Structure 1
Amino acid sequence: MTDLTKTFEYLHQLLAWRLSLLVNPANSSLNRPTPPLYEAAADAPFAQFLVQTQPNEEELVYLSMALVPHLQPSFFDELIGEYAPNRGELPEFGGVRGTNHRGLLPTGETVLFVLAGTSLTQRQRLLPLFSSDHPFAYHKMLTLGEVPVGEPRLSGRLILDPEYVELFTTGHVSTPALSPGFPAQHLRTELAWSDLVLPPGTLAQIRDLENWVHHNETLRGEWGLGARLKPGYRALFYGPPGTGKTMTASLLGKHTSRDVFRIDLSLVVSKYIGETEKNLGGLFDKAQSKNWILFFDEADALFSKRTDTRDAHDRYANQEVAFLLQKIEEFDGLVILASNLKSNLDPAFARRFQAMIHFPMPTAAERLALWQKTLPPNVPLAADVALETLAARYELSGAAILNIVQFVALRALARQAQLLTLEDVMDGIRLEYQKEGKLL
């Protein structure tokens, strides 16, 4: 891409100029290269970013130096070999070797050397570039790697967030996949709001969540409530299994153009002290400023009531809950917790929810609507299948009705029949009742 080509050419000229001064101070008369001009274009994602964010020269160099090893692994080694072949390890230059990467990786010391040379005054002036308050670090975009205790912090290598590497080099960012490092699964749905069958009161509260997603920035900015309101929005979905909590979260994402991630608590909760907090911290850090919706399904496993402190296990469990409270309150997006029973959750969480939305078992009328929406439209029912009777007589959740319809449809396909029979429907209902320990 032309934006990266001219960026790396400028960086090459700047490093060559600085190394020339190091090798021979008489070269001080050489003109320092100036940054290129950028214009936003569809095929130039790096230029688009620069035009939008308007970094200064120091920030441009810092960012470019973190990016270049991902495309030109030998960039720094070739420069040193060309302009300072007899200077040994060049401690002024900084840099480290990676485990797998064979080229030199730049560090904070490398950035200072390129921008300030050996000038102590100029180096001190540039230190805020690496502060945790700088936008690069604050938004987890560009940071310094950890260093052993006692070693200078700026000897940490430059770490550019992989999502920005992908954005700058390909023009798009892939959806994160479920993994131990990212314990969340992307939720998608092909359904629409019209497929959701819920009581009017529940639907109204869901519309309120949708309103927050659409208008939060205006509320905090133009309407001036940003200083008074905490960031983000927290909602509790509670009710029996199969009543539409996950489907609602997916639809919220679909109709607000937000990615929804369901947190896999089996990958979050750890028996090792401190690991649960580490996993949660990494998840929230990655989600920050992404406009994601985080959906904690079966949240009781992690958000349950804190216990009296009787031993070390209780103390660490309570610390996990306290840490989670903190991360949820700091998160700037929508967090949804789903639970079968509202009473299972710690009261400290309840006070922090802006919305607590009940998903009850469907009424007879709602069950009839679910049967009608779920049955395949092109396959007829046997004459003795009365949906009104089924809906009135058998208390089933939406998920259970879906399971029954799938069961009946597969039975019909196995018989090569184009008819859904009452016998199969009753067998499906019987199986769902058995799952719940009920008799038909």
Structure 2
Amino acid sequence: MIKADIEWARELISKRLEELNSTSSGPWAMENHLPPAWEGDTPYGDLFELFRQETDLDDAPSLIAERLILIFALSPYLAPSLLEPFTKALQTGQGLDTLGGIQSETQFGFMPTLQTVLFIVAGNDVDLRKKLLSGVFHEAHPLWTMGIIDVHHDPRTKNPLLIPFELNEEFYNILVLDQPYKPQFSRTFPAQLVQTREDWDDMVVPSDTRVALEEINIWLKERERIAKDEVINRKAKRGYRALFYGPSGTGKTMAACLLGKEAGLPVYRVDLSMVVSKYIGETEKNLSLIFEKAENKEWILFFDEADALFGKRTQVSTSNDRYANQEVSFLLQRIEDFNGLVILSSNFKANIDSAFTRRFQSIVKFTIPNKTLRLELFRRAFEKKYLLEDLQLMENVANKYELSGAEINNVFQYCAMMCLHKGLKKVSSEIFSQGVIKELRKKGKAL
């Protein structure tokens, strides 16, 4: 389909350039120049189907303009020769104002602007140009709201029609590479993709915690129907906000990963050390970069140890207090406006500002497992390949020591490593005891 569109665009460019110095470069028979119809279910065709759902622009000029903008953005990767006729025209001094476009400082050739698209579709037709400016070119069109096209704003250029544009990185992955977009960890996106190979059966938590997590699961499964329900939309904010709180090692990160795994959605853990800044306004700016990139992507944002970013506001006694409170208010607004799932994780619920807790749909408590759950965690860890010689010892440890799920997993990893090293078929009592002592010493305790 993209190949057919490129050839269609090539013909359109040729025709318009031929008419550049003639008097017939105004209205033309749009129905004779419509883009090819698409067949099958492809990401490229899905975009235009989405445009029809989101706008009422189904006239010929709008359809042509939409398609041209995308083809121009794709051309540097798929059809570099498509824009060569513009380069030749400018070299002869033709249509310097009419054609738009600029000479790139970093690459040879012509970089189209929206003025270039207007020239091809509308020529000198004033009314048609006005229609396109209020339709496809308006900031509310999905081309811009979804971030499909990036416009490189230049403070020296007041006219947005003269600013070059290119394909967004995400849609480059989707349309050119035919693969899902996974942003790389960077200063502009300080978040990392987190995953788990475990399943819900590996999650040993109290029943009330399990019920609370299932509620979030239900929202993820029904999110599309909820978004289309007019009654719900009138009474509820977009998206879903959840707070996970409890001691370290009790399964908060694992639960977030499992929610994403079941829903088929990526989970990005935000690195707060790169978000929080001592400089005024920088924290808000850094957070905006995350939310802007995540908007409409169906990503789960996971703020681990969120106290640093979402802590309680203080009484204003200095200018620093005032700016800190402004940060919290800004974060509150950004979270409320986000249309996906946001999970905040904290060791202590009391550390989170009450303005946030009032807006959480779910507050999920994670606790140190009791004796029964600890024994279950030990049994699930030491099964199949790594059986324990003395099951009574395992039961005694589970009954006596308050170990978290992460600490029990550390015991297992130590024991498995030592069994492999020594060539043992079962975990000996000595190795198991050493693994438990190792964890207890971290806590300042002894066996």
- Indicate whether the TM-score tops 0.5: yes
Q: How does 1:28-47 map to 2 (within 5 A)?
A: 34-41=33-40, 45-47=43-45
CA deviation after TM superposition for structure 1 residue 391, in Å: 0.5
Show CA shifts across 1:196-238 (max 9, x none).
Answer: 1000111001111101111133234347312211100100000
Identity of aligned residues (%): 38
Residue 242 (structure 1) aligned to one of 249, 260, 275? 249
Query: Does residue 391 of structure 1 match 2:398?
Result: yes
Shift of 1:51: 4.5
| Aligned with 1:368 (options 371, 375, 382) | 375
Deviating more after overlay: 311-320 vs 368-377: 311-320
Alpha-carbon separation, structure 2, partners of 1:29 and 1:423 = 88
CA contact (8 A) 1:73 1:102 kept: no
Q: Distance in 2 between matches of 1:204 and 1:223?
A: 27
Per-residue displacement from partner, 1:162-181 (whole Å, max 9, x unpaired)? 22122222332232232223
Structure 1 residue 278 displacement after superposition: 2.0
Pick the aligned partner of 1:57 from 64, 76, 79: 64
Q: 1:166 to 1:357 in 2, by over 3 A?
A: same
Match of 1:340 among 340, 347, 366: 347
Q: CA deviation at 1:241?
A: 0.3
Q: Which residue of the partner structure matches residue 93 of structure 1?
A: 99
Q: How does 1:159-308 map to 2 (within 5 A)?
A: 159-222=166-229, 224-308=231-315
Pair 176,28 (structure 1): closer, same or farther in 2 beyond 3 Å? closer
Distance 1:256 1:78 in 2: 48
1:25 aligns with 2:31: no
Distance in 2 between residues matched to 1:271 and 1:374, nearest whole Å: 44
Tell me, yes or no, if structure 1 residue 8 matches structure 2 residue 6.
yes
Question: C-alpha separation between the residues in 1 aligned to 2:148 and 2:282?
Answer: 23
Taking the aligned partners of 2:27 and 2:202, their CA distance within structure 1 comes to 73
Label 1:436 to 1:289 Cα distance change in 2 as closer, same or farther (>3 A): same
The corresponding residue for 1:107 is: 113
Looking at structure 2, the residues matched to 102 and 122 of structure 1 have their Cα atoms a distance apart, in angstroms, of: 32
Question: What's the offset of the Cα at 1:300?
Answer: 1.0
1:349 aligned to 356, 360, 380, which one?
Answer: 356
Cα deviations across residues 36-66 of structure 1 (Å, max 9, x unaligned)? Answer: 3323336x54234335544622222222222
After TM superposition, the structure 1 stretch with the greater mean CA deviation from structure 2, 233-242 or 146-155, is 146-155
8 Å contact kept, 1:23–1:84: no
- After superposition, the C-alpha distances for 1:131-183 in whole angstroms (9 at most, x for unaligned) are 22222222222243212156212222123322212222233223223222322
Distance 1:150 1:59, change over 3 A: closer
Deviation at 1:383, TM superposition (A): 3.2
**1:191 positional shift:** 1.2
SS of the residue corresponding to residue 302 of structure 2 reads strand
Tell me the residue number matched to 2:55: none
Supply the distance in 1 between the matched residues of 2:390 and 2:173 (Cα, whole angstroms).
58
2: CA distance, partners of 1:305 / 1:274: 18
Separation in 2, partners of 1:202, 1:253 = 17
Q: Is the 8 A contact 1:237 1:338 kept in 2?
A: yes
Higher mean displacement: 256-265 or 341-350: 256-265
- 2:159 pairs with one of 152, 159, 172: 152
Counterpart amino acid of residue 255 in structure 1? E
What is the CA–CA distance in structure 2 between the aligned matches of 1:350 and 1:186, rounded to whole Å? 26
Q: Equivalents in 1 of 2:156, 2:171: separation in Å?
A: 29
Q: Which amino acid aligns with 1:365?
A: T
CA root-mean-square deviation? 2.4
Range with bigger deviation, 165-174 or 401-410: 165-174
Q: Do the aligned partners of residues 427 and 125 (structure 1) sit closer, same or farther apart at CA in structure 2, a change above 3 Å counting?
A: same
| Distance in 2, Cα, partners of 1:402 & 1:371 | 8
Q: Supply the AA of the counterpart residue of 2:128.
A: Q
Q: Secondary structure at the match of 1:131?
A: coil
Tell me, what secondary structure is at the counterpart of 2:130? helix
Query: For residue 331 of structure 1, what is the aligned residue in structure 2?
Result: 338
Structure 2 vs 1, CA of residues 164 and 374 (structure 1 numbering), >3 Å: closer, same or farther? same
In structure 2, what is the Cα distance between the partners aligned to 1:382 and 1:171? 51
Using structure 2 for the length normalisation, give the TM-score: 0.90
Mark the CA change 1:248 to 1:26 in structure 2 (over 3 Å): closer, same or farther: closer
Q: Assess, with a 3 A threshold, how the Cα gap between structure 1 residues 89 and 62 changes in structure 2: closer, same or farther.
A: same
Q: 1:52/1:154 Cα in 2 relative to 1: closer, same or farther (>3 Å)?
A: closer
Q: Give the unaligned 5+ runs of structure 1.
A: none
Q: Which runs of 5+ in 2 are unaligned?
A: 53-57
Provide Cα deviations, 1:273-302, integer angstroms capped at 9, x if missing partner.
333222211211221122221111111121
Alpha-carbon shift at residue 184 of structure 1 (Å):
1.5
Shift in alpha-carbon separation, 1:348–1:26, aligned structure 2, 3 A: closer
SS in 2 for 1:262: strand
Which residue pairs with 2:439 in the alignment? 432
What amino acid maps onto 1:361 in structure 2?
A: I
